[in-house]
Each structure stands twice: as structure tokens, then as C-alpha cells.
């Protein structure tokens, strides 16, 4: 079923162009701009006054907040900095995010342009011969279908487009933060792979030596076939672990290459640091307050701008219930002869105001308003979830900071104890005092402790990266200016 609208238009043409003819337009412009959008108020999301385990980063108090700390200042490894820079230049996901920003900006310019008249110029020359020849020529400029925004429909659409543009820009920053964190994580995984490969190669060498010694003892009748086969099994287990780690390292290289957006790792990278040295190269950041997340996290700001856009769309949907006032006008010259087109007597103008009243639309306008209100409710829920997710991510990272350091210290002490136990067991076995089973247990304990130390060291470093990311760090470089300051200087929510 089609909608019904009443259209009232008044046409005036070819009269003397006087200022009185502009009176309706002037009055309309004075009255235009009444917005029907609801007033925007930021939803109150219940948050704790402080983060749990915030004391785990107390040593960072007085240092810049994460959002103010450029990634070039947070990461001290020059090799890692180079990799991040390459990824920011070439990564396809970040490129798509940047193009989405350009698209949203263009869409905003389209909506903003709708607030202004479209002025066109035309020159025509016409010749007809139904019974006798007729000539007609005209030249002029005109305003075509300009809608006077009495009830703020166009303004609301422009506000929504602006908010969507700002949301898209914040989403690009979120993508960049995730990219930086992903590159660092992949790089740390590679360092951990190298460390585990070193440990496994040393373990394989030790087990091969034990196997050689067991075979020598068996040949001399002082050991059993069982000891030899157990030693052989340990050698093959170490070889299997080595092959698995080599495969894992190749896959981690592929992951990093994909993030860099290049076919291979650059050959001219500067020298890097080991996994154990990375902790000293990461700057400390304070946890701050939960309320800081509303400004420091780009994903939270993106969700808020989407909410602002939803508010503005309600205004546009409400305005559809009210009349639309349009204007078409032109000013120029018209003549039956092209030669006298610019004579004094050929001046012409038209002024066509038009009012369109919605009468019957089978509930379409109400349905559109219901859709806009539902979208607003969805945007509120998404904003609240974004804030709560941000709080949880920071809290989880702080919990890791509070425990992983102590876990690493305990594991490193375990490695030292296991190394001493292995050295003693190996010496006793070589002198025939201890059984091969004692040496076997010592070897296994040492290898397991060494692997655990590498994994926990990796977890500790990854947790520091996660905390930096969760606090909103990683979307500025050293020469980009202040992160939080830039966020504060960004345009306020369009509906505020």
C-alpha cells in the first residue's frame, strides 16, 4: 500500500524580481533548525572506584598514563620498534580501517551539503516547427529542490553522520592498538620459541651424552638393557620436542609476516634482545582510575559516538511526521531569439515553494521511529558492555601483574634447584652410586622447569602488553603528540 502525502506548491514566474519575493524564504530560514532529537546524556555505567590489584603497578605512579605513552616510548627494543613501524605502514586490516574513516568522512560531507541549496547554471536554445518555426533561448541560475529544515531532519542526519565518522575514527585507533599488541605478541612468541629451542637442543645434547654413557656401561657389563632403552627413549622424546618447536617457530614467523603485510621478514632488521631482557625494556604505566577508561579507550569512545548517532537518528525519524518545506527558484533571462537574450525585457525568474504534508503512510513513519528507538537501546547496551569489558580487561591484566612476577621468581628458583639436582645425579650415576632412574627423573624435572620458566616469562611480558593495550595505549607514536590530550581535544559527542 502506498503512502499518501498532500503537496501544496505555489508558482510565481516572470514578474519583477523584488525583495518581497524573498520574504517567505527569509522567514523559513529564521524558523529552521528546530531539532527533535532527544538530548544526549552519557549513560551511567556502574564502575568500582578503583581497580583491584592496582597496587601491583604502584611503582609506576607519577609516570604518564598508558594513553599518553607513545608505543615508541613504551617498547625499548629497537628491532621491535622497526617491526611495529612496518606493520603500521603495510597491514591490510589497518588499511581497511583507514579507508572506512575516509568513507565515513565523505558520507558526513554529503549530509552536511544537504543543509545548503544546490545552485546550478543552465543555457538552453530550442527550435520547434509544429506548423511554423519557433525559437526559444534561456540562461540562468537556479536553486533546485532545497529543503528548508524546519524540524531539524537534515541537521539530525548530519549529526548522525558526524558521530558515525568519529566512531569510525575511534575504531581505526582500536584497530591500530590491536595491531601493535599483535605484532609485539608475535615477536615475543618468536623469542620464546628461540629460547625453548635452545633449552631443547641443550637437553638433547645432554640426553645423547647420557645415552652414550649408558651404552658404554652396558658394553662393560655394569648397566642393563633397560637403562639403555630408557636413555634412548629420552633422546627421541627430545628430538620430537625439537621438531615440534621448529614447526611452531615457522608458524609464528608466518603470523608475524602476515601482520607486517610483507612477503617475508626484512633482512636488515637491527639486532634484538632476548626474551629475558625484554622486561627491562618495557616502560611501567600506572593503572589509573576506572573512570579514565571512558576517555583513554578508543573502543569505548567509538561505542559512545555510535550511541550519539542513534540519538540523532531518532530526531530524523521524528521529523518525518511533520511537513517538509522545499524551495525551487531560478533567476535569468529568456527570449524567443538568442540574439536579444540579454535585452532588458528578457529578465525572468521563478519562485516555487512547496509544502509536503504526510497524511497516510500505513505506519511507515512510526515503524521507522520504532527502529530508531530500538537502535538507540542497542547502542546503549553496546556502550555499557564496552565499558564493562574495558574494566574487566584491565582488572585481569592487573591480577596477572600481581601474581606472574612471583610465579616467575619461584619457577626460576625451581630451575636452579633442578639444575643442581641433575648435576648431582649425573655425577653419582657416572660414579656408580645412583641408579639411572634417579638421573632420568632429574633430567625430566630440569627440562620441565626450564620450559615452564620460558612460558611464564612469556606470560609475564604478554600480560604487560595486555595491560598497556587495555589502558588505551598504542595508538600514538613518539611524534604524534599526547594520546589522552588528543582524545580530549577531539570533537565532543555530536549530541552533547
The predicted-structure confidence for 186-239, as pLDDT tens digits, reads as follows 999 999 999 999 999 999 998 898 889 888 888 888 778 888 888 899 999 999
Task: Name 282's bridge partners.
Answer: 75
In a domain, 30, yes or no: no
In a domain, 337, yes or no: no
In a domain, 216, yes or no: yes
Scan for cell 610483507, then name that residue.
262
Grouping H, G, I as helix, E, B as strand and the rest as coil, residue 33 is: coil
pLDDT of 487 above 50: no
> Using 50, 70 and 90 to split pLDDT, how confident is the model at 448?
very high
Q: What is the DSSP string of 137-205?
A: EEEEEEEEEEEE-TTSHHHHHHHHHHHHHHHHHHHHHHHHHHHHHHHHHHHHHHHHHHHHHHHHHHHHH
Tell the burial category of 431 from Cβ atoms under 10 Å away from its Cβ (0-12, 13-18, 19+). Answer: exposed
Are 386 and 285 a contacting pair, CB within 8 Å?
A: no
In this prediction, residue 3 carries a pLDDT of 57
Grouping H, G, I as helix, E, B as strand and the rest as coil, residue 116 is: coil
What contacts 257, CB < 8 A, 6 or more positions away?
263, 264, 265
In this prediction, residue 383 carries a pLDDT of 94
Q: Structural domain tally of the chain?
A: 1
Are 217 and 226 a contacting pair, CB within 8 Å?
A: no
In this prediction, residue 125 carries a pLDDT of 56
Backbone phi and psi for residue 361, each to the nearest 5 degrees, phi listed first: -135, 15
What contacts 420, CB < 8 A, 6 or more positions away?
none
> Using 50, 70 and 90 to split pLDDT, how confident is the model at 138?
low
The predicted-structure confidence for 256-303, as pLDDT tens digits, reads as follows 999 999 999 888 888 778 888 888 888 888 777 787 777 888 999 999
Grouping H, G, I as helix, E, B as strand and the rest as coil, residue 297 is: coil
- Report the b/e string of 190-216 with b at 16+ CB within 10 A: bbbbbbbbebbeebbebbbebbebbee
Helix axes 436-470, 364-430, angle to 10 degrees: 150
What is the residue range of 108's domain? 45-116+150-321+364-489
Lowest mean pLDDT among 57-71, 155-169, 465-479: 57-71
d(CA 211, CA 233): 9
Q: What is the DSSP string of 118-132?
A: -EEEEEEEEEE-SSS
In a domain, 66, yes or no: yes
d(CA 186, CA 462): 10
Question: Grid coordinates representing 42?
Answer: 552519557
Stated pTM of the model: 0.81
Lowest mean pLDDT among 113-117, 133-137, 440-444: 133-137
Strands 134-148 and 347-360: unpaired
In a domain, 401, yes or no: yes
Are 127 and 133 a contacting pair, CB within 8 Å?
A: yes
Question: Grid coordinates representing 287?
Answer: 593503572
Question: Grid coordinates representing 12?
Answer: 510565481
Secondary structure letter of residue 341 according to DSSP: T
Helix and strand element counts for the chain (H, E): 12, 6
In this prediction, residue 122 carries a pLDDT of 64
In a domain, 167, yes or no: yes
In this prediction, residue 258 carries a pLDDT of 94
Question: Grid coordinates representing 198?
Answer: 635452545
In a domain, 340, yes or no: no
What CATH number does residue 396 fall under? 1.20.1600.10
In a domain, 193, yes or no: yes
Structure-model confidence comparison of residues 143 and 479, the more confident one: 143
The predicted-structure confidence for 368-397, as pLDDT tens digits, reads as follows 899 999 999 999 999 999 999 999 999 999
The overall average pLDDT reported for the chain is 81
In this prediction, residue 340 carries a pLDDT of 60
> Using 50, 70 and 90 to split pLDDT, how confident is the model at 183?
very high
Amino acid at each position: 500500500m502506498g503512502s499518501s502525502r498532500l503537496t501544496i506548491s505555489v508558482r510565481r514566474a516572470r514578474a519583477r524580481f523584488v525583495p518581497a519575493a524573498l520574504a517567505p524564504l527569509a522567514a523559513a530560514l529564521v524558523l529552521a533548525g528546530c531539532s527533535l532529537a532527544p538530548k544526549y546524556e552519557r549513560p551511567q555505567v556502574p564502575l568500582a572506584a578503583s581497580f583491584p590489584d592496582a597496587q601491583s603497578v604502584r611503582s609506576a605512579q607519577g609516570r604518564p598514563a598508558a594513553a599518553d605513552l607513545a608505543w615508541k616510548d613504551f617498547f625499548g627494543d629497537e628491532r621491535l620498534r622497526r617491526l611495529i613501524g612496518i606493520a603500521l605502514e603495510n597491514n591490510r586490516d589497518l588499511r581497511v580501517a583507514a579507508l572506512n574513516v575516509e568513507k565515513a568522512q565523505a558520507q558526513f560531507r554529503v549530509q552536511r551539503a544537504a543543509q545548503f541549496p544546490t545552485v546550478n547554471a543552465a543555457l538552453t536554445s530550442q527550435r520547434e516547427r509544429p506548423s511554423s518555426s519557433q525559437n526559444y533561448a534561456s540562461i540562468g541560475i537556479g536553486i533546485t529542490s532545497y529543503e528548508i529544515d524546519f524540524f531539524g531532519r537534515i541537521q539530525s542526519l548530519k549529526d548522525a553522520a558526524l558521530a558515525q565518522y568519529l566512531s569510525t575514527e575511534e575504531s581505526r585507533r582500536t584497530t591500530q592498538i590491536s595491531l601493535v599488541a599483535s605484532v609485539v605478541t608475535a615477536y615475543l612468541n618468536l623469542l620464546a620459541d628461540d629460547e625453548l629451542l635452545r633449552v631443547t637442543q641443550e637437553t638433547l645434547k645432554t640426553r645423547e651424552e647420557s645415552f652414550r654413557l649408558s651404552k658404554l656401561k652396558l658394553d662393560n657389563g655394569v648397566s642393563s638393557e633397560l637403562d639403555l632403552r630408557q636413555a634412548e627413549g629420552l633422546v627421541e622424546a627430545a628430538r620430537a620436542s625439537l621438531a615440534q618447536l621448529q614447526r611452531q617457530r615457522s608458524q609464528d614467523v608466518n603470523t608475524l609476516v602476515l601482520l607486517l603485510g610483507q612477503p617475508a621478514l626484512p633482512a636488515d632488521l637491527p639486532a634484538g634482545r632476548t626474551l629475558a631482557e625484554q622486561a627491562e625494556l618495557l616502560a611501567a604505566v600506572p593503572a589509573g582510575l576506572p573512570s579514565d577508561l571512558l576517555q583513554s579507550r578508543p573502543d569505548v569512545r567509538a561505542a559512545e559516538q555510535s550511541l550519539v548517532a542513534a540519538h540523532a537518528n531518532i530526531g530524523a525519524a521524528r521529523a518525518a511526521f511533520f511537513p517538509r518545506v522545499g524551495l525551487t527558484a531560478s533567476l535569468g533571462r529568456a527570449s524567443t531569439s538568442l540574439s536579444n537574450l540579454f535585452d532588458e525585457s528578457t529578465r525572468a525568474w521563478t519562485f516555487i515553494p512547496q509544502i509536503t504534508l504526510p497524511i497516510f503512510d500505513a505506519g511507515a513513519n512510526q515503524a521507522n521511529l520504532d527502529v530508531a528507538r530500538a537502535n538507540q537501546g542497542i547502542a546503549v547496551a553496546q556502550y555499557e558492555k564496552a565499558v564493562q569489558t574495558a574494566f574487566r580487561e584491565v582488572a585481569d591484566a592487573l591480577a596477572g601483574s600481581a601474581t606472574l612476577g612471583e610465579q616467575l621468581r619461584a619457577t626460576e628458583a625451581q630451575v636452579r634447584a633442578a639444575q643442581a639436582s641433575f648435576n648431582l645425579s649425573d655425577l653419582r650415576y657416572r660414579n656408580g652410586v645412583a641408579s639411572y632412574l634417579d638421573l632420568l627423573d632429574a633430567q625430566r624435572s630440569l627440562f620441565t622447569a626450564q620450559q615452564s620458566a620460558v612460558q611464564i616469562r612469556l606470560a609475564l611480558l604478554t600480560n604487560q602488553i595486555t595491560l598497556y593495550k587495555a589502558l588505551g595505549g598504542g595508538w600514538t607514536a613518539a611524534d604524534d603528540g599526547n594520546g589522552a590530550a588528543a582524545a580530549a581535544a577531539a570533537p565532543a559527542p555530536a549530541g552533547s
